[in-house]
Structures are given as C-alpha cells and as structure tokens.
Amino acid sequence: MDETSTNSLNTVINNAKVEEQDVLGTLDADELIFYHSIRAELDLLKREPKLQTIHYILDHSKSFKL
C-alpha cells in the first residue's frame, strides 16, 4: 500500500500576507535551488493594477453570478 503526503506549500494559507522567509524556511535544498532559479522571472510577473482596473474586474465578475 502506498502512503501519500501533502507538501506544506500546497495547503491554503488564510493569512493576508505571508513573509518570504517563513515560506523559504519550509523548503528543502532542491526546492530552494528551483525557487532561486526562477525568482527573477517571478518578480517580472508582479503587477500593481490601478484601483479602477480592480473595480472593473470585480464588476465584470459580478455580472456572471448565477
């Protein structure tokens, strides 16, 4: 019989803000190497939309409620 487990990073975190060092403390060596190899590319994906854009998206999503 196989035993399965879930990595702690795959769980849902309800905190509004998670500190990077808290997450990095739970990673093993291979995961840290992978994270640091893609870190610059991940930073390029970060966006800070205008408040107007956020409201537009929310209003649009509300129009799809069933």
Task: Give pLDDT tens digits for 38-53.
Answer: 988 988 998 899 999 9
Question: Residue 23 pLDDT more than 70?
Answer: yes
For the chain, how many structural domains are there in total? 1
Q: In this structure, is residue 56 part of a structural domain?
A: yes
Q: In this structure, is residue 22 part of a structural domain?
A: yes
Q: In this structure, is residue 2 part of a structural domain?
A: no
Nearest-angstrom CA–CA distance, 33 and 20: 15
Give mean pLDDT, residues 12-27: 66
- Cα dihedral 13, 20, 27, 12, rounded to 10, equals 10
3-state helix, strand, coil in the chain (%, to 5): 55, 0, 45
Q: In this structure, is residue 33 part of a structural domain?
A: yes
CA angle 31, 46, 15 (to 5 degrees): 70
Question: What backbone torsions phi and psi does residue 18 show, to the nearest 5 degrees?
Answer: -115, 125
**Range of the structural domain that residue 36 is part of:** 8-62
Q: In this structure, is residue 15 part of a structural domain?
A: yes
| Cα distance from N-terminal residue to C-terminal residue, the chain | 43
